[in-house]
Copies of this chain bind each other. A is one copy, B any other.
Amino acid sequence: MHHAQKLNEVIVKKSQEAKLVLLNMPGPPKNHDANALLQNNQTRPMENSLYQNYPFFADIQVMIFLGFGCLLAFFRHYGFGGMAFNFLIATFTIQWAILVQGFFQFYYDGKIHLGVLNLINAEFACAVVLISFGAVLGKTSPVQLLIMALLEIPVFGVTEWAVVKYLKINDAGGSILIHIFACYFGLGVTFVLYRPSLNEGHPKESTSYQSDLLSVMGTLFLWVFWPSFNSALTFKGDDQHRAILHTFIGLSASTITAFALSSMLSKNGKISMADVQNVTLAGGVTVGASVDMMISPAAAYVLGILGCIACMLGYKYLSPFLARRLRLQDQCGIHNLHGLTGLISSLAGICAILLATEETYGPSLYQTFSHRAPPEGDPLLAELQELIPDLEAGLGRTAREQALFQVAAVFGTIAVAAVGGLLTGVVLKLPYLASPSDEICFDDELFFNVPPDYSCVNDPIVSPARLTE
């Protein structure tokens, strides 16, 4: 008896301590689901949060490592760089983000608390860095990339923390915090790293038949699992269900539109693989900010088409302009796929917020838009809690107030990201960071031991001169 009693006392004490901490801590749910000590006779193993989060985490893992990895391997002589640097940067970033986000958001009781949910948050931060990476692909050394990740994550972490804690916005798919932040940070970096000679084009800045196929595979991985990305952090139940449907619809709309526009905007009516690789994904971003709301499938479809058109025109007309006039050499066109679409998405989110009514949402309105729920002590809260027992007290914001906070978040994010990117770019210009010279950009040979067939692989023509040497 004595032994078990003692054990029991330990657990009761620990649990009470943990609960005390929980009560005193605002913010996201606290994770004790991986701690053996805090399991007791009320614990039901299958209700561990693991089982709600792990499937989404696994999908996002595929997107980060295989999706981005293959997509970024599109240069004919920079496949190793695209795929392996993506692997390195992603791994580093996730670890670093666990610490930074942990410090800002999951730190209590003297420790950073860790669960699969935190890994999902860290993978989102990782997506930010990988998007920014797209702007400088092929023109940076791994040391520079690591430093970029090292600096971008804290800037992102602070922004995220401020937006989540103070502005409290609705942005399930991360259009503002992930896509817009990543885009303007990346543009800031590439602005400082401007290389005038690359504006004339670089002999290795092209794809090969195999690299194009590999890159399309990356696109398909991203396309297939994007609904998991956009819905991973929504409320469970109908919110998550809507997020998945809207993302799927948005992506479908933008894919069809991308094929049509690619052929129509090309001189010879042919489809460009670069469009298949990038523009098809625009719809996933444009539905992001309103993905869990009752925007209706039709609106998701329209958002997909709008995002695709903006993205396509961006690649066609805006990117060359930015490169020549504004020193913004955006290697993967992240401003088209993440910037323009992110802005459209934010705008759509604001509209959806302004149009949201109790007639459409029922009392769930106060869950999806949790900051519009009545504050603690408001008698309305108690009434609503009879309808939805789990409803938490909010801030009593009106739709307009919420919309203004969204606007503030967009501009705030752009400003912080751009300044952060510029400063990071300055750091990356420091000497001794092994920045590749202009001639050997987009070239695996600089950083990798390449296989014997490298020198002639993917070469457009087997030069007769070399052969007759």
Question: Which A positions have Cβ atoms within 8 angstroms of B?
Answer: 1, 3-5, 7-8, 10-11, 14, 33-41, 43-46, 48-50, 52, 54-55, 58-59, 61-62, 65-66, 69-70, 73, 76, 79-80, 83-84, 87-88, 91-92, 94-95, 114-116, 119, 142, 206-214, 216-217, 220-221, 223-225, 227-228, 235-242, 244-245, 248-249, 251-253, 255-256, 259, 266, 268, 270-273, 276, 280, 294, 297, 358-365, 368, 379-380, 383-384, 386-389, 446-462, 464, 467-469
Contact = CB atoms under 8 A, between A and B. Distances in A.
Contact of A270 (B58, B206, B211, B447): B447
Given A66-B221, A80-B213, A383-B3, A460 B453 contact: yes
A275 to B, nearest CB: 9
A280 B245 CA distance: 34
A462 B457 contact: no
Contacts of A69: 216-217, 220
Contact of A240 (B40, B50, B388): B50
A461 B451 contact: no
A39 B238 contact: yes
B58 A224 contact: yes
A235 B45 contact: yes
Given A236-B46, A255-B91, A266-B449, A241 B116 contact: yes
DSSP majority for the A interface?
A: helix
A252 B91 contact: yes
B213 A142 contact: no
Nearest to A14: B362
Contacts of A217: 66, 69-70, 83
A40 B259 CA distance: 42
A37 B364 contact: yes
B383 A4 contact: yes
Contacts of A236: 45-46, 48
Q: Which of A116, A248, A297, A464 has the most CB of B within 10 A?
A: A248
B273 A39 contact: no
A279 B225 CA distance: 28
A58 B4 contact: no
A386 B4 contact: yes
A213 B245 contact: no
A443 to B, nearest CB: 12
Contacts of A245: 34, 114-116, 119
A234 to B, nearest CB: 10
28 contacts: A3-B380, A3-B383, A4-B383, A33-B241, A36-B364, A37-B360, A39-B364, A39-B388, A44-B237, A45-B237, A50-B240, A58-B228, A61-B225, A65-B223, A70-B217, A76-B451, A83-B213, A87-B220, A91-B252, A94-B252, A208-B451, A209-B451, A210-B457, A211-B451, A270-B446, A273-B449, A273-B451, A452-B460
Given A91-B252, A297-B114, A448-B273, A8 B387 contact: yes
A449 B276 CA distance: 11
B40 A387 contact: yes
Given A11-B387, A36-B368, A91-B252, A458 B467 contact: no
A1 B38 CA distance: 40
